Amino acid sequence: MLTLPLEAQQIQRVKTLAREIAAQVQDFIDLHSSDSSERTVLRLYGVDGVTEDGIPLPNRLVELLRESRLIESGISRPFAKAMIKTGLGASETAKALHEGKVRFSELGSIHPELVQKKEQELCKKAIGILDRTRLVKREKAQKFGNPEYPWRYLIVASGNIFEDRTQARSAAFSGADVIAVIRSTAQSLLDYIPYGATTEGFGGTYATQENFRIMRQALDEVSQDLNRYIRLTNYSSGLCMAEIAACAAIEDLDMLLNDSMYGILFRDINMKRTFVDQYFSRMICGRAKIVINTGEDNYLTTSDAIDKAYTVTASQLINEAMGHNALLSDNLLGLGHAFEINPKIKNQLLYEISHAQLARQLFPDAPLKYMPATKHKSTDIFYSHVMDTLFNLVTIATRQGIHLAGMATEAIHTPLMQDRYKSLANTNYVFNAAADFGSEFQIRPDGFIAKRAQEVLDQAEACLIKVHEVGLMQAISEGQFADTYRSQNGGKGLLGVFTKSQDYSNPILAQIKAEGMME
């Protein structure tokens, strides 16, 4: 079996550094909330629908709470009071608030015990949603079994959820274990979740709760047909991280792209907003047993994959620590990395094996998500197909967890169904032909692969020491990751962050924290 000669003491050092870095950020998170996090509470309480102008009711209610200058206490208690006042259900009360029939500022005095009882009732419903989807996933795994790692992960991205559904079915019948619906370009910058089924996305399909439902139903049907558990993935990133996590839990999604720094670095979303929303989103994922996928592979699209490989490792360690803070178990941490070294580099394959094996040993229980070549893909589809074949070989040799199948037409157009078929045929062939490849060889302690892995780990440790000294937010400001500089008070969404008051209430978050990591 492939094994790098890494020192246990050094691994412990870098993990301790990462935990302390994450703890520094957690101190900030614990004191703050955001508009999106409050909207998430409403969604889990049962608020659904839009106004006559198409504004989602959760957005409208948080806006009204801000206008009433009550936001610092959170939405939970005022909304519970409003429900007591109206005697109506969650969505009906939301409509009454929108129409001005009830106002947050004019609820009057309601006995605290009654309010607390109503909050507990709403919280029980919310936690029930998360617990139900956790049990549904367990039942599917028991019924169909889990495929052996690496799981074959395939994307669909037509812009039309109904066409995506057709492509997803085709991919499942061709051998895919996981279907990822790529989100419409720049949806992460929308400070609301579009409503209903959508057919006109750009470079992907809008992430909406209805779209989640449509694809979930289709994949459940395919699972029955194939007697295999076909998992569904979407995106919980951007300005609505926690809200999308809530929608995903309601509709039984299995995985969500959810990274601690991706939105900051690549979408210029304010880091304070990102860290606050990410925490609540991950608490939801942990309770619902939704696997997160992190985005370290993106670093190598803006930075050199050899020179800055250590930033991937450092970020993975930080993502792991922040995930643990949010009660994510190791089997839910789909930490990301990528096969992105320039193919013109001599011994590219040895570099890639070194980096992949380093990640595998640093996170032995994590279902690592390994991404294919994209940056150096060519319009020569035969050459691209060879690159994907080498990528497939590294995946099976180092036993990655989640394998995003590469496309020969990556550099030409959005892949068609036949492109996906050829991609899966390549993957299936290599995984079968080299099934036990990694267990037949040993890594020389004084060889290229071992020395390269040690070099990357040493650089990652040095990076973490610097980040620990200045704090993660300052390190991001200084361009430590992806050669991208972001201001602590810049970017999109900062105005949606607020400091919690002494009487702040979010019973959902409090109960998840109190009950700890779930089996």
Q: Which residues are catalytic?
A: 262, 297, 369
**C-alpha torsion sign, points 162, 60, 265, 15:** negative
388 touches 406 (CB < 8 A): yes
**∠ CA(494), CA(327), CA(480), 5° rounding?**
50
Rounded to an integer, what distance in angstroms lies between the CA atom of residue 150 and that of residue 176?
11
Amino acid (1-letter code) at residue 382? F
Rounded to an integer, what distance in angstroms lies between the CA atom of residue 340 and that of residue 384?
12
Peptide bond into 445 cis (omega under 30): no
Is 400 exposed, middle or buried (CB count within 10 Å of its CB: 0-12, 13-18, 19+)? Answer: buried
- For residue 257, the 8-state DSSP code is E
Nearest to 451 by CA among 94, 5, 3: 5
| Residues contacting 436, CB < 8 A, separation 6+ | none
Strand duo 255-257 + 333-334: pairing: unpaired
**∠ CA(336), CA(151), CA(1), 5° rounding?**
80
**C-alpha torsion sign, points 307, 308, 314, 319:** negative
Strand duo 32-34 + 497-499: pairing: antiparallel
309 touches 460 (CB < 8 A): no
Is 92 exposed, middle or buried (CB count within 10 Å of its CB: 0-12, 13-18, 19+)? Answer: middle
**C-alpha torsion sign, points 109, 111, 116, 117:** negative
Chain centre to alpha carbon of residue 323: 11
Residue 370 to residues 126, 361, 396, 400, Cα–Cα distance (Å): 33, 14, 11, 7
Rounded to an integer, what distance in angstroms lies between the CA atom of residue 10 and that of residue 30?
30
Q: Can you state the angle between helices 348-362 and 448-470, rounded to 10 degrees? A: 50
290 touches 256 (CB < 8 A): yes
Rounded to an integer, what distance in angstroms lies between the CA atom of residue 345 and that of residue 48?
53
